Amino acid sequence: MSHWRIEVFNRPGYADAHARGVLDEIRESGISDVEAVKAAKVYLLDGDFDEDFARRVAGELLTDPVCQDYYMGRRPAEGGQALEVHLKSGVTDPEAESVTTAIKDMGVEAEHVRTARKYVIAGQLGREQLELIARRVLANDCIEDCLFGEAADPPNPHLEPYKLDLTQWPIRELKADELVHLSREKDLFLNLREMQAIQEYYRGLDREPTDVELETLAQTWSEHCVHKTLKSAIDMEFEGKQVHYDNLLKETIFNATKSLGKEWCISVFDDNAGVVAFDDDSAICFKVETHNHPSALDPYGGAATGIGGVIRDPMGTGLGAKPIANTDVFCFGRPDMKPDEIPRGVLHPKRIMKGVVAGVRDYGNRMGIPTVNGAIYFDDRYLANPLVFCGNVGLMDKDKCFGNPQSGNLIIVVGGRTGRDGIHGATFSSGQMTHEHETIFSHAVQIGNPIVEKKMLDVLLQAREEGLYEAITDCGAGGLSSAVGEMGEKLGAEVDLDKVPLKYAGLSYTEIWISEAQERMVIAVRPENLERIEKLFASENVEATVIGKFTDDRKLVL
């Protein structure tokens, strides 16, 4: 196998808006010794092809022939010091995926493609200043590594194949403080009462739980999936009177809707999104959701997957709605705060704001879904944890508002592949943000790929019109665990985890089961429709893989 490094940069005389933006941000951050910034895009290609073909890829695919040029190898950093920003191992790289597909269209299989960003910083700067520039402006420690000077390329993220090692986490004999420690150590975010309830259950079974069982329970009981706080008993003062709620959510929002009993409310508090009547034939599907913690760690990726996930909610309601419009509300800390006012482990509000706005905008635009309205608010209380509230409106026929999975249906996962991104994304939403989240929960951040979701949406709408599936849901928080578990709640399910398509080797059975990697949906399909649905998805270059079947024993077997 051959390894090729290609750097793409603007020709002299052509302005580089990205490099200019970086220079402005460096100066805004209080570093005034930088004289100029040059930027380049780096592509690392592995494959069984020669230099002539690599140059074809560089010239015909990676370079804009009007204003750009390319360099094979490592271009000398003339007039400054070089810094390179690479994604951490396992972080999704949508651009690399697109390049891989394009190279395949050119008739050659690329074994692996990675991308990076290179900056040449001119000025009298020491290593400490360069590291400050990298941390404040160039790289996000949560998902990226910054290499200084003529450093070697980062290790290839391909991992060794996983060897089955079924693991138990003994809890039956643990004391209270030991249960709390286990929950904290394993990032379960379950409190003592919840851990004791699980402990009693397994004492009744007379066996210890496996790691995947505890992980499944943890994501199911997470704040994101079950809204523990909103469903709690609440005592409060309202208009001078003491008010008690046994279940705040059910006795306020739920109760108001139920008591009104409007006949135009077709499906509420039941599916992935609410459905209301629009006219005689159509219904409106509407969903809003927050994506705060991930956006605090990686503003662009967190916000992009926030809107991407909320788009999939109408897609996964009933037999699937067509998303037509986005909306949002953003709340940040003050963007004019000085760098020394920012606590350790917290990104600057201006950086968070730019990333969040760009993430929501870009994802919607690439799917062809406009953002039709929104709001923005600044307050110091949003400094460490911004509010990123995304919404989507979908349109569907009234006769497609409900799905009906049945025993014997095949479980098919469609769309993107499963990776390590999004591990513990559901459970860490239950925790308090601290300065350690940036490091400890980097795996909880997902990187979205709107092109994959757009392709998946288009082919799912075709399959829906042909009546090729019985039910659909998205792989949101909890991944396959929640998607298959919720769809098969009244049925039962058997899942072959080794059949789940992976982004790279090395994932354990638990990681495959709870990963929240983006752009995936689960559908229930009658066996007689399998051949047609496989052909349909293949015709649009969208993966569709049978990973199991629904049963009739109400047991979930992996």
Which whole-number Å values give the CA distances from 193 to 131, 172, 212, 245, 527, in the listed order? 44, 14, 20, 20, 43
Higher pLDDT, 396 or 225: 396
Helix/strand/coil for 24: helix
Q: Is 260's pLDDT higher than 60?
A: yes
pLDDT at 369: 96
Of 86, 291, 293, 437, the active-site residue reads 291
| Percent of the chain at pLDDT exceeding 70 | 94
State the pLDDT confidence band at 548, using cuts at 50, 70 and 90.
very high
- Strands of 274-277's sheet, edge to edge? 265-267, 274-277, 282-290, 387-397, 322-332, 371-378
Q: What is the DSSP letter of 208?
A: P
State the pLDDT confidence band at 361, using cuts at 50, 70 and 90.
very high
Q: What is the DSSP letter of 418?
A: B
Which whole-number Å values give the CA distances from 416 to 156, 413, 438, 494, 502, in the listed order? 21, 9, 25, 21, 9
pLDDT, one tens digit per residue, over 327-345 is: 999 999 999 998 888 988 8
Q: Strand pairing of 371-378 and 322-332?
A: parallel
How many CA atoms, within 13 angstroms, populate the side-chain half-sphere of residue 125? 27
Whether residue 543 contacts residue 414, with contact meaning beta carbons closer than 8 Å, is answered with yes
Domains of the chain: 2-148 (3.30.1280.10), 176-226 (no CATH), 262-402 (3.30.1330.10)
Name residue 468's beta-bridge partners: none
Of 18, 181, 224, 227, the active-site residue reads 224
pLDDT at 424: 57
pLDDT, one tens digit per residue, over 87-97 is: 887 778 889 98
Lowest mean pLDDT among 107-121, 145-159, 254-268, 336-350: 145-159
pLDDT at 429: 44
pLDDT at 437: 38
pLDDT at 539: 94
Angle at CA of residue 384, ends 381 and 418, nearest 5°: 135
Provide the greatest CA pair distance for the chain: 79
State the pLDDT confidence band at 162, using cuts at 50, 70 and 90.
confident
Whether residue 481 contacts residue 427, with contact meaning beta carbons closer than 8 Å, is answered with no
Q: What is the DSSP letter of 497?
A: G
Q: Is 435 a catalytic residue?
A: no
Q: How many residues are listed for the chain in this entry?
A: 558
Q: Is 513's pLDDT higher than 60?
A: yes
- Minimal CA–CA distance to 34: which of 134, 114, 142? 134
Q: Is 86 a catalytic residue?
A: no
DSSP H stretches of helix in 206-333? 211-220, 223-226, 248-249, 255-260, 292-297, 299-315
Lowest mean pLDDT among 1-10, 503-512, 537-546: 503-512
Q: How far apart are CA 322 and CA 314, in angstroms?
A: 7
Q: How far apart are CA 492 and CA 552, in angstroms?
A: 6
Residue 529 tokens, joined? 């429709």
- Supply the pTM of this predicted model: 0.85
pLDDT, one tens digit per residue, over 296-331 is: 988 998 899 899 999 999 999 999 999 999 999 999
Q: Is 102's pLDDT higher than 70?
A: yes
pLDDT, one tens digit per residue, over 438-458 is: 443 344 466 788 999 999 999
State the pLDDT confidence band at 426, using cuts at 50, 70 and 90.
very low
